[in-house]
Amino acid sequence: MFDDPRLALLRAALERRPAAAAPREPGMFEAAVAIVLRPRDALELLLIKRAVHDADPWSGHMALPGGRREPRDGDLLDTALRETCEETGLCLDAAARMGALDEVTPSSRRLPPLVIAPFVVAARPEATAHADPSEVEAAIWVPLPALADEAAAGELILQLEGGPRRFPTYNYGEYVIWGLTHRILRQFLQLADDVGLTRA
């Protein structure tokens, strides 16, 4: 699984950088996401576009595969892998784990009180993903250099109750990545850049 030297570099970098845990407060839910990497000519990561559902606060957003922890999950890595399998049909086991990033929590009070644990996992070069239409509108593989390119950086302006607010974005074709997914990817891309893996 880790024969590709780029994955080996990333795994070593993750081992040198223990993930920071976010504080748990009463009433908070736990969730996990997977940064799935596929080693082809460039390293590619898997993103999903969430299906549109009125009850989903992230309806229609670009995201990493993942979701809330369920009682049957042994740990948060189990959550990330189970959700990835359910949402994209890409089923990996715990041996695919390369490491973890710092946990994040929503900064907006309009969002559910969550702690989200991001895990970096490896897939084989021939891996494919197919969107489960009940949860996911699209599943796409994005080359790391395309996200790391300065031209991919953008800004989203939302009109909120307190006035307009600006959010940084990554743009890939028609897809706009912002919010919690942007925060997690910014962590990951910084790590990948530190070991020289974001250049085409």
Q: What is the mean pLDDT of residues 133-147?
A: 92
Has residue 57 got a pLDDT over 70?
Answer: no
Ordered by start, the domain boundaries in the chain are 5-143
The whole-angstrom separation of Cα 75 and Cα 191 is 24
Nearest to 83 by CA among 40, 109, 46: 46
Nearest to 182 by CA among 164, 166, 159, 200: 166
Has residue 56 got a pLDDT over 60?
Answer: no
pLDDT at 54: 60
Unique residue bearing structure tokens 């946990």: 103
- Name the CATH architecture for the domain at 5-143: Alpha-Beta Complex (3.90)
The whole-angstrom separation of Cα 154 and Cα 137 is 23
Q: What is the DSSP letter of 104?
A: B
Has residue 176 got a pLDDT over 60?
Answer: yes
Distances (CA, A) of 86 to 66, 67, 75, 154, 164: 9, 10, 17, 31, 36
155-186 per-residue burial string, b: 16 or more CB within 10 A, e: under 16: eeeeeeeeeeeeeebbbbeeebbbbbbbbbbe
CB atoms within 10 A of CB 81: 25
pLDDT at 15: 95
Has residue 76 got a pLDDT over 80?
Answer: yes
Q: What is the mean pLDDT of residues 10-36?
A: 94
pLDDT confidence tier of residue 99, bands split at 50, 70 and 90: very high
Higher pLDDT, 34 or 24: 34
* Amino acid at site 136: V
Alpha helix ranges (H) inside the chain: 5-15, 76-88, 144-148, 179-194
Unique residue bearing structure tokens 């800004």: 155
Nearest to 187 by CA among 3, 5, 2, 17: 17
Higher pLDDT, 149 or 50: 149
